[in-house]
Amino acid sequence: MQISDILAPESVVCGLALSSKKVVIEKLAEMVESVNPSVSSSTVYDRLLERERLGSTGLGRGVAIPHGRLENCEKAIGAFMFLESPVDFDAIDNQPVDLIFALLVPQECNDAHLKILAQLAEKFSNEEFVAKLRTQASATEIHKMLTA
């Protein structure tokens, strides 16, 4: 499974001005529901927040990958946002976050979940890729980069 299989063009936004980690997670949940109406935004919000309580998904260098498992979910789902201004995400390096990729997978999806997380972590650990991503002005261009 590739990132292009889980990230719809309409699940990418840029230029949002959000104030906190919880507001970011709330907006991600709404984005997921808008593209996948069978998935409840409140359930997505709860799952992502539950995972954050275990430890921050802020990887460092302004990147976070909140993720969780959903019951009654048939396939992995992604959503991405590039914030106008970074927010505190309790990241490992204590730096605020402006690039956030949310990943939701079916409850029983173990291997695929880990493979997608590994792909995302590899992509976002590439400093050149992250720097170039931050220069993009449109959601369309960001989607192309993420799914290439």
Which are the catalytic amino acids?
67
Number of Cβ atoms within 10 Å of the Cβ of 36: 20
The Cα-based distances of 11 to 39, 47, 116 in angstroms read 14, 18, 17
Separation between Cα atoms, residue 57 and residue 130, nearest integer Å: 17
12 exposed, middle or buried (CB, 10 Å; 0-12, 13-18, 19+)?
A: buried
